[in-house]
Amino acid sequence: MTNAIERHISINTENLSGEFYFQSFLTEAYEQHEISETELETIQLDCFKLLAVRTESYNNGASSSVQIEVAQVIMASNFFTIGLYLKSLPDLQTALQALKNEPIADQYQKGLKIVCRKMNVARHLYYLVCSSRIESMQYFYNVAIDEDLKRFLKNYNLEYEAHEVTTLIDYQLMNPVSDLAGVEYLVHYLHNLSLENMFCAKFKPAVILAVMHEYDHQYKELPVNFFEQVLLNALGCVLLRKDIEAPILTAADRQEMISIIQCEDGTSPFTLLNNTADLVIESLSITSLPLKAYIKAALPVLISSF
Amino acid sequence: MPFDLTIFSGSLMIRQAVDEVLECNDGTKHYALVLNEQQAVELIETRSCSLKETGRFEFGGGVINKLINVFCSSPFIMQDNYAEIIHELIEIFYYFKNETLDRMSDDDLIKFMKKSFDGQCQSSLELVKGRELERLSRRIRYGNDFEYIKIYGEEKKADND
């Protein structure tokens, strides 16, 4: 049995960036005096050596120099990959020890393995999204699945541009992915989209299309989110005591719903909507915890849109 | 704490690059060509300026060593003009590395420069730069690599054999 007392480290997680994790971690560790000037220089020199090796590999050894933009991209990619490794460690203390004691090249190699694993996860999630997709003619949704995401998976350069979001996906999610880059962004986007599809799959396709038509008859050309409209209608149906299996609210119903939410005595709109969301979850027999959490996370956005 | 590529242009890197350039003296002594430390430092400075002007980044002694090792055998280079020519070659090299869109390897570009310098241009760096390399880079930019392949195809084949 060890009685060692773990030293408290003063790195503030709020100052760590999800997108630029390595850089922010190093900066925070240095500013909080968790790493010394000498250790920082050693890490920087190791990063430089790694950059030299990666650049040589990029050039196939044919050129000793590269355009500065290329070097910067490779360096950002290296940082992203190392950052993924540090993020994967159980806590900040372990991450700090790894940063200080493990050679940067080893950290990079471990990070690269994580990138590969995340790519496999992304491929699986893409398969889930395809198999649960909503049958619709909506342009943005279909392009996102048939072209953008497929292109992202195909073009993602995990060795030299691991941090890049190579393809812009125009279909906006109800809960957008932010502060993430590269394969992490892709995995979260696909995860969220699969949850949205999972929720919409609780309704008949004809009902979803009717909801979208009710929202705007030109919805096929609009970058409108399916999940948002279907959830809004489901919440409305519960509030107005209508059949949730066929949630088609008219414009008048929507107005009534808004007035109920805003005028309910003694209850805040969020609490009311939260309770209604619980009823929706129960009515649709939703057991998936991530989907429940996703629905709850969407509520503040819905309230702000009223 | 700044953390970009500029942190790597410190004195440690310069020292390392100077040492690498001075190591070339072992090979060039045979041609009665030697660089002193001051000249090596100046070459590194020229390289830094050229890299900055052309928006490029390099590791270690890099291309200076390659230029020295190839050009030291030129009949037009003597101790008197040695350092001066290497200075100019460094500037020309990086400029045309960009102009050829990085599609030529360092070795091929240097080989082309050496061949032009010793051959048609008869040690005129103005001609190497303004005529031969301009023509080559124009062809590469317009996607016509044929001449480049024709020039080097046979040489490379001979090298491989």
Task: With CB atoms and an 8 Å threshold, state whether B105 touches A63.
Answer: yes
Alpha carbons within 13 angstroms on the beta-carbon side of residue B78 total: 2
* DSSP assignments along A194-236, one per residue: HHHHHHHTTS-HHHHHHHHHHH-TTGGGS---HHHHHHHHHHH
Task: With CB atoms and an 8 Å threshold, state whether B8 touches A48.
Answer: yes
Q: How many domains does chain B have?
A: 1
- The H or E element that residue A67 is part of is strand A65-67
* Range(s) of the domain holding residue B17: 5-159
Question: Is the whole model's pTM more than 0.95, yes or no?
Answer: no
Q: What's the pLDDT at B17? A: 83
Q: What is the mean pLDDT of chain B?
A: 85
Give chain A positions within 8 Å (CB) of B51: 65
Is the pLDDT reported for residue B3 higher than 50? Answer: no
Is the pLDDT reported for residue B8 higher than 60? Answer: no
By CA distance, what is A41's nearest residue in B? B7
Rg for chain A, CA atoms, rounded = 24
d(CA B41, CA B21): 9
**Given A26, A27, A65, which is nearest B57 (Cβ)?**
A65
d(CA B129, CA B135): 9
For residue A151, give Cα distances in angstroms to A77, A140, A148, A186.
19, 15, 5, 11
Q: What's the pLDDT at A251? A: 75
Averaged in consecutive runs of 10 residues, what is the pLDDT profile of chain A (306 residues)?
61 90 93 91 90 89 88 95 96 93 95 97 96 91 94 93 89 93 95 96 90 88 92 88 75 78 71 90 94 94 79
Domain ranges of chain A: 13-108, 202-306
d(CA A160, CA B1): 25
Model confidence at B146, pLDDT cuts 50, 70, 90, reads low
Instruction: Tell whether A305 lies on the interface with B, counting CB pairs under 8 A.
Output: no
Instruction: Tell whether A31 lies on the interface with B, counting CB pairs under 8 A.
Output: yes
Q: What's the pLDDT at A1? A: 45
For the segment B123-148, the average pLDDT, to the nearest whole number, is 85
